[in-house]
A = this chain, B = another copy of it.
């Protein structure tokens, strides 16, 4: 009898994560929160320790033909810091595991670490360890970030309550459109190497793709204003996917308004140029690394004039109903969509 073969793609990324999670139970009292949030949460006495890990693989997460190595180094740190931010924590240390083939020179490795160093300096994080090995083919960079949050200020995905207001920072969809622009320019360049790419009008989007920032500024501002979100997640896979994570973990329903979703005007116009619905870039684009969070209605007054926080809807008590009210006033169900790498 042949061994059974099930494709990973049949389960999907989130299905696979659930399967792994269900196969493991926690045995140490210090393990407060395992798989299933932006970071693990470990008890270290007066505070919580937050641990996040992300692996970036050449050919999957980046293309070195348009991703400079400094930016790759910066981004690899920023995406981990973003996970710490999503717990309302502050990052303090990272360890970096790097697989690199002999097609890379020492100067290339230096550039990568220059980006890592710039991110460490910006986010006030120390590189405290790592592993460096050769890789048979592509570049692999896997970073683990360690941060801290006060026990009563650690924000999980699960604390949202009906009527809490759904907030998102910055704007969405730009990193995704930046990637589309870069992919198109690469194709043009391959067809006609003498053609100089004109990226100026796409500069903002390309920057969002190549050099995303973790929103530590928001974490600090919320602390100053003494606001603790009831639930939070970072927008790495697209707004739709993250909304559904908050809803599922908080046991609440979602209602958002399409007109409230923050989309930069350049992103909007470029999406139209590419024949993509601008709302789709925000809902399913991903890699924005903005913060999506919920606040108690009583905190709205304090935040309502914040220039970079947008109020896109609220939670409600029908945990199976996740809806977007379109600009035309129609009701659109919010659909899950994880990464589709497999």
List residues of A whose CB falls within 8 A of some B CB. Answer: 3-11, 13, 16-17, 19-20, 23-24, 26-28, 30-31, 33-35, 39-40, 42, 44-46, 49, 51-55, 57-61, 92-93, 95-100, 102, 104-107, 109-110, 113, 117, 120, 124-138, 140, 142, 144, 146, 339, 341-342
Contacts and interface: CB of A to CB of B under 8 A. Distances in A.
Contacts of A58: 136
A146 B42 contact: yes
A267 to B, nearest CB: 26
Contacts of A96: 53
Interface core residue of A58, A128, A342 (most chain B CB under 10 Å): A128
Contact of A126 (B31, B61, B109, B133): B31
Contacts of A138: 136-137
A127 B40 CA distance: 9
9 contacts: A5-B105, A5-B106, A16-B132, A40-B93, A42-B93, A49-B49, A53-B96, A57-B140, A99-B140
- Per DSSP, chain A at the interface is mixed
A136 to B, nearest CB: 4
Nearest to A341: B134
A97 B28 CA distance: 21
A93 B40 CA distance: 10
A216 to B, nearest CB: 14
B34 A127 contact: yes
Identify the interface centre among A6, A46, A106: most chain B CB within 10 Å of its CB.
Answer: A106
Given A9-B102, A35-B128, A59-B136, 6 more contacts: A6-B107, A10-B106, A24-B117, A28-B93, A28-B126, A97-B142
